[in-house]
């Protein structure tokens, strides 16, 4: 069938309307006139893929990566970089209107990434020892797409990919299905360790702080944009007590400890929590402590706080965490999120609980993909 793409939706798919049906088309550009094949139907919604670009959108470009379309990693390479940023602003707006039910969404700026390619310092490589393939999952499947070269990886990590790929298969642990890999200032860390590859401890300077971490702990994948992200997420916050929920190795805990008298970080992964404590100690910050706990449990044991920063995984914050935050009644909340849909779900509850939005910022931590980091600053109004 022939369709025209109206805009890009959350999840990165293009939206088209035809014959009373809603059609979701992957790897499309807004304004494209396409011939598509319907892959499956769910009620009045059709899921389709591009057969032929009949008239390309003015923002469509030739995807430079030879794996584009097959590899499940990058789904925005068909868009100019400006169009990627515009689509991400639309995605955030759509979630805030449809899921958070905001009547008026303020203007959203998505801060561009200093690097649009070769920016990733962290990746997970899938390994199929049966077919002897190493790379990323194929689009919409759990088959491994064998990738020799990845255009969004930092060049040093590309070298590591090549080293892993040239390792004798006999050296791989028989049950190894994926490898987590991360780069620091001058070394690489892999988990699990095997053969010549170690789970090294790394360090990296971000703004004025130095962070240590390894491949068993979370670290943001695009460090070049982190100083801007941290500055926006903290705003002009300062005062007596702050909470940093889902704090990882302390990316926000350290700068918060420079502005608040007391800071409490909560992190479930013991490896990350240990690095967070060490990072605070090496920065000489004795006014912050980090609890190794799930936030759902950790938030119950907290007294009054003025400021809460939360940066949960894609699933967002558990209901009990939102309830715990509302019970604490902080003057301000900074919600950092890598999934606008779960952010909007939680935001709705925070607004119902008496908070209003001060500002919204988008940060393009993930160029060439539909993913976007969003920060929403909230203030207690009741």
Considering beta carbons, is residue 60 or 332 the nearer one to ligand SAM?
A: 332
Q: How many residues interact with ligand SAM (rule CB under 6 A)?
A: 18
Answer yes or no whether residue 335 interacts with ligand SAM by CB under 6 A. Answer: no
Answer yes or no whether residue 269 interacts with ligand SAM by CB under 6 A. Answer: yes
Let me know if 22 is exposed, middle or buried by CB neighbors in 10 A (0-12, 13-18, 19+): middle
Answer yes or no whether residue 268 interacts with ligand SAM by CB under 6 A. Answer: yes
**Site track for ligand SAM across 74-93, x = CB under 6 A:** --------------------
Please state the closest distance from residue 33 (CB atom) to ligand SAM, in A. 39
What is the sign, positive or negative, of the torsion defined by CA atoms of 252, 370, 80, 115? positive
Contacts 24+ apart (CB under 8 A), 232-238: 232/111, 232/361, 232/363, 232/375, 233/309, 233/334, 233/336, 233/375, 233/377, 234/259, 234/309, 234/334, 235/332, 235/334, 235/358, 235/359, 235/377, 237/307, 237/332, 237/334
Answer yes or no whether residue 294 interacts with ligand SAM by CB under 6 A. Answer: yes
Which residue spans within 66-177 are E strands per DSSP? 109-111, 122-128, 133-137, 144-146
Tally of CB atoms within 10 A around 24:
20
Please state the closest distance from residue 17 (CB atom) to ligand SAM, in A. 35
**Site track for ligand SAM across 217-256, x = CB under 6 A:** -xxx-------------------------xxx--xx----
In this chain, which of 65, 179, 221, 272 binds ligand SAM, going by CB under 6 A? 272
CA neighbor of 368 nearest in space, from 115, 183, 149: 115
Considering beta carbons, is residue 8 or 225 the nearer one to ligand SAM?
A: 225
The residue from 65, 74, 247, 338 that is catalytic is 338
Let me know if 188 is exposed, middle or buried by CB neighbors in 10 A (0-12, 13-18, 19+): buried
> Taking phi first (over 0 means left), then psi (-120 to 50 degrees means alpha), and beta for anything else, what does residue 172 get?
beta
Q: What is the Cα 115 distance to its own chain's centre? A: 16
Torsion, Cα of 307, 313, 316, 319 (10° steps): -80
- In this chain, which stretch among 130-138, 148-156, 197-205, 212-220 interacts with ligand SAM, using CB under 6 A? 212-220
Considering beta carbons, is residue 102 or 273 the nearer one to ligand SAM?
A: 273
Please state the closest distance from residue 295 (CB atom) to ligand SAM, in A. 4
Tally of CB atoms within 10 A around 367:
24
- In this chain, which stretch among 75-83, 98-106, 255-263, 267-275 interacts with ligand SAM, using CB under 6 A? 267-275
Please state the closest distance from residue 272 (CB atom) to ligand SAM, in A. 5
**Site track for ligand SAM across 295-314, x = CB under 6 A:** x---------------xxx-
Asked about 338 being catalytic, the answer comes back as yes
Considering beta carbons, is residue 75 or 267 the nearer one to ligand SAM?
A: 267
Interface residue list for ligand SAM (CB under 6 A): 218-220, 246-248, 251-252, 266-269, 272, 294-295, 311-313
Catalytic residues: 338
């Amino acid at each position: 069938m022939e369709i025209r793409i109206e805009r890009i939706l959350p999840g990165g798919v293009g939206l088209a309307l035809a014959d009373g049906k809603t059609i979701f088309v992957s790897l499309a550009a807004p304004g494209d006139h396409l011939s598509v094949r319907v892959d499956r139907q769910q009620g009045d919604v059709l899921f389709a893929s591009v057969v032929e670009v009949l008239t390309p959108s003015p923002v469509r470009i030739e995807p430079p990566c030879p794996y584009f379309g097959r590899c499940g990693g990058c789904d925005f390479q068909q868009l100019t970089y400006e169009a990627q940023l515009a689509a991400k602003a639309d995605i955030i707006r759509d979630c805030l209107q449809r899921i958070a039910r905001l009547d008026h969404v303020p203007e959203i700026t998505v801060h561009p990434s200093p690097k649009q390619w070769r920016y990733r310092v962290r990746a997970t490589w899938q390994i199929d020892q049966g077919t002897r393939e190493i790379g990323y999952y194929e689009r919409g499947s759990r088959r491994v797409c064998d990738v020799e070269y990845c255009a969004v990886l930092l060049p040093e990590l590309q070298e590591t990919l090549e080293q892993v790929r040239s390792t004798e298969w006999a050296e791989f642990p028989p049950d190894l299905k994926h490898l987590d890999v991360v780069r620091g200032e001058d070394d690489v860390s892999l988990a699990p360790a095997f053969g010549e590859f170690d789970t090294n401890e790394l360090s990296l300077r971000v703004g004025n702080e130095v962070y240590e971490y390894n491949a068993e702990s979370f670290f943001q994948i695009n460090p070049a944009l982190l100083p801007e992200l941290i500055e926006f997420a903290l705003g002009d916050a300062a005062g007596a007590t702050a909470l940093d929920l889902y704090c990882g190795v302390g990316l926000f805990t350290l700068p918060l400890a420079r502005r608040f008298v007391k800071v409490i970080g909560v992190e479930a992964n013991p490896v990350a929590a240990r690095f967070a404590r060490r990072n605070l100690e090496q920065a000489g910050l004795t006014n912050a402590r980090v609890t190794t706990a799930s936030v759902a449990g950790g938030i119950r044991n907290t007294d009054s706080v003025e400021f809460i920063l939360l940066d949960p995984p894609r699933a967002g914050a558990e209901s009990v965490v939102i309830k715990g935050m509302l019970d604490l009644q902080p003057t301000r909340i900074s919600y950092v999120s890598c999934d606008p849909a779960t952010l909007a779900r939680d935001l709705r509850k925070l607004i119902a609980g008496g908070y209003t939005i001060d500002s919204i910022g988008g940060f393009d931590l993930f160029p060439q993909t539909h993913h976007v980091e969003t920060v929403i600053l909230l203030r207690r109004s009741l």
